[in-house]
Amino acid sequence: MASGEELQEVDMKDIHKVSNPFNDDKVIANCSIFGAMSLEGRRFSGRDIITAIGNMRDRGNGQGGGFAVYGIYPEHEDLYALQVMYHSATAKDETETFIREYFNVAHDEEIPHNRGVEAIVDPPIVWRYFAEPRRIESCDNLKQDDYVVEKVMVINTQIEGAFVFSSGKNMGVFKGVGFPEDIGRFFCLEDYEGYLWTSHGRFPTNTQGWWGGAHPFSLLDWTVVHNGEISSYGINKRFLEMYGYYCSMHTDTEVVAYAVDLLMRKHKLPVEVVAKVFAAPLWQDIERMPEEERRLHTTLREVYGSLLLNGPFTIIIAHHGEMIGLGDRVRLRPLTAGIKDDMLYLSSEEAAIRLVCPDLERAWIPKGGEPIVGRVGLSEVIHKRYEAGVA
């Protein structure tokens, strides 16, 4: 008879063969991202997005999935759609008291969902409020967006059991614990129409899978989905705290969403410059650049060096009228772009694009560190970029 130690050794070997047949110590290439946008602003159903992200199911493990969609609330397009998750009725009561103190709420309702999706277990309460900032003396000098950001940070850091997971106008985030296709069915996203969709299938490697930690991460109408690891999270987080952004979701991607809001909305930097902050060249490469370019990169590193995203990453950033794909400088995570008529696609895998659009005009892999940008009304610019090989 085998000893206990021998039995334990055999069991561990068998488990290793089943759970890790490639003899890797850690899965580092997973998570799936997908984005689709009509460059003419044409609204379309979420059905194809659910199909595409579901095709990359093996890149996730069921610990997180989510979607961002733009143009879905035309009847409330001038109001902020505050979408909140609650872990208790007490948290809901406390948060609603806070919201109604600082906002005029035109309408609120439970976010429609299908509890018949068996794969989604123990979901939180999900509610949305269509609101505008209440004009009070304490915020006279703040822009409306800054006011909303401030109140979102208060809810997420000071009210236990409540967090705002979406806060933009005429857009919404829908996310949770589960495979993305199950999250899509849970939130009935086949019934929504928008002109820009992004989606994410999660395979967490360093943090827990929970509803607030699922992607997309969002602030105002900025959303981010991410594949990779942000090993600079600590310094990114501390830099952002100086500007009033507080990370509470225990996931590294949260810093990217806040950094995008800071750089693009508040500091008004173009996406091409933001890409140079996130995926900065090495100092030795900067030193070899022409004088004007060297001066720009040097200034960016000196001012925004703490927002450099260290580690492998591919991200899709979206806000109203624009979808942006960006990978790290040496392309350690995959990103494929495709275009057909007015549709721009970004994906971890080309197969997912071709599943929903078999007759692509062209598919290509963007260069590391250089953004792919789709903008409503400027489809000819996108065509010129990839035809010239710039993309």
288, part of any domain: no
Residues acting as catalytic residues = 31
224, part of any domain: yes
255, part of any domain: yes
Q: What is the mean pLDDT of residues 198-203?
A: 92
Domain boundary among 141, 169, 197: 169
Considering the chain, what is the average pLDDT of its residues? Answer: 88
Please indicate, yes or no, whether residues 357 and 230 belong to a single structural domain of this protein: yes
Q: What is the mean pLDDT of residues 323-331?
A: 93
Label residue 63 by pLDDT band (50, 70, 90): confident
203, part of any domain: yes
Q: What is the pLDDT of residues 223-241, one digit of tens each?
A: 999 998 899 999 999 999 9
Q: What is the mean pLDDT of residues 117-128?
A: 93
Please indicate, yes or no, whether residues 348 and 260 belong to a single structural domain of this protein: yes
Beta bridge partners of 126: 85
Cα distance between residue 381 and residue 186, in whole Å: 37
pLDDT for 383: 41
Please indicate, yes or no, whether residues 164 and 248 belong to a single structural domain of this protein: no
301, part of any domain: no
**Domain ranges, residue 376:** 26-67+180-281+309-391
Domain count, the chain: 2
Q: pLDDT at residue 21 above 90?
A: no
The pTM of this model reads 0.89
Question: Whose CA is closest to 84, among 117, 136, 131?
Answer: 131
Token pair of 205 as six digits: 């490697």
pLDDT for 27: 52
What length is written for the chain?
391
Please indicate, yes or no, whether residues 31 and 96 belong to a single structural domain of this protein: no
pLDDT for 46: 95
- DSSP states of 185-212 as a string? HHTTGGG-EESEEEEEE---SSS---GG
16, part of any domain: no
The dihedral through the CA atoms of 3, 9, 13, 15 has a sign that is positive
Please indicate, yes or no, whether residues 218 and 255 belong to a single structural domain of this protein: yes
pLDDT for 355: 97
Q: What is the pLDDT of residues 288-305, one digit of tens each?
A: 999 999 999 999 999 999
Tell me the CATH number at 348: 3.60.20.10
Q: pLDDT at residue 28 above 60?
A: no
Beta bridge partners of 344: 37, 339
79, part of any domain: yes
pLDDT for 204: 73
Domain boundary among 122, 137, 169: 169
Please indicate, yes or no, whether residues 219 and 250 belong to a single structural domain of this protein: yes
Q: What is the mean pLDDT of residues 313-322?
A: 96
Label residue 11 by pLDDT band (50, 70, 90): very low
Cα distance between residue 325 and residue 275, in whole Å: 10
Please indicate, yes or no, whether residues 250 and 352 belong to a single structural domain of this protein: yes
Q: pLDDT at residue 389 above 50?
A: no
pLDDT for 4: 44
Percent of the chain with pLDDT over 90: 76
Please indicate, yes or no, whether residues 347 and 386 belong to a single structural domain of this protein: yes
pLDDT for 251: 87
Please indicate, yes or no, whether residues 366 and 248 belong to a single structural domain of this protein: yes
Of 82-86, 328-332, 354-358, the least confident: 328-332
Q: pLDDT at residue 145 above 60?
A: yes
Domain boundary among 140, 169, 198: 169
87, part of any domain: yes
Please indicate, yes or no, whether residues 262 and 388 belong to a single structural domain of this protein: yes
Please indicate, yes or no, whether residues 109 and 132 belong to a single structural domain of this protein: yes
Please indicate, yes or no, whether residues 244 and 192 belong to a single structural domain of this protein: yes
Query: What SS3 state is found at 355?
Result: helix
